[in-house]
């Protein structure tokens, strides 16, 4: 077991969310489902926690009730190999009640924030060509879903 595990609080959709998230990434699975017992606080037999892995990283989802909600202060960052991966994840995560935000950020239907980021962006911003990094950053700031082709044009000084 990994030493530190991200713990996510859901109202009552932990199992549904874990199934959805594990469908998005290779090397992902539901590891364990624990249920509330007679001591509560939810009805006995209902799902309490779901332990799952996304791309080999472990998470725990809790059905904790409506007391707390996700905010953009915490997000899951996904390093995407290419535009096809950005498009696939963006489309799936914004479907059925998800919300687009800016600069590659979105909220899924459960309110969890994600950053869907093509590797080209991070490689260019962290690369040695500072002028290209500035152009790419400016281009990114005007986008919702990140567009690799537009970022590449910006890096080359074509925009």
Average pLDDT on 71-92 reads: 98
Residue 54 structure tokens: 């996304």
Are 76 and 34 in contact, with CB atoms under 8 Å apart?
no
Q: How far apart are CA 46 and CA 34, in angstroms?
A: 9
Q: Which long-range contacts (CB under 8 A, 24 or more apart) does 149-156 make?
A: 149/83, 151/118, 151/120, 151/121, 151/124, 152/120, 155/120, 155/124, 155/129, 156/132
Q: What is the pTM of this model?
A: 0.94
- Axis crossing angle, helix 130-141 with helix 148-155, rounded to the nearest 10: 140
- pLDDT digits over 13-59, tens only? 999 999 999 999 999 999 999 999 999 899 999 999 999 999 999 99
Q: How confident is the model at residue 158 (pLDDT cuts 50, 70, 90)?
A: very high
- pLDDT digits over 94-116, tens only? 999 999 999 999 999 999 999 99
**Predicted pLDDT at 40:** 84
Closest CA to 2 of 56, 62, 45, 40: 56
- Domains, in order of start, for the chain: 1-68 (3.30.720.100), 70-159 (3.10.180.10)
**Predicted pLDDT at 1:** 72
Q: How far apart are CA 85 and CA 81, in angstroms?
A: 7
**Predicted pLDDT at 22:** 98
Indicate if the pLDDT at residue 159 is higher than 90.
no
């Amino acid at each position: 077991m990994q030493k530190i595990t991200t713990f996510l609080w859901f109202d009552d959709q932990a199992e549904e969310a874990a199934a959805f998230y594990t469908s998005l990434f290779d090397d992902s699975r539901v590891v364990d489902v624990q249920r509330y017992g007679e001591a509560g606080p939810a009805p006995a037999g209902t799902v309490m926690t779901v332990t799952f892995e996304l791309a080999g990283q472990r998470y725990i989802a809790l059905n904790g009730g409506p007391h707390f909600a996700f905010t953009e202060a915490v997000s899951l960052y996904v390093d995407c190999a290419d535009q096809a991966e950005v498009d696939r994840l963006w489309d799936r995560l914004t479907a059925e009640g998800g919300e687009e935000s800016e600069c590659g950020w979105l909220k899924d239907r459960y309110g969890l924030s994600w950053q869907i980021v093509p590797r080209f962006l991070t490689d260019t911003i962290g690369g040695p060509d500072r002028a290209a990094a500035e152009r790419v950053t400016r281009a990114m700031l005007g986008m919702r879903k990140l567009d690799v082709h537009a970022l590449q044009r910006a890096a080359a000084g074509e925009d």
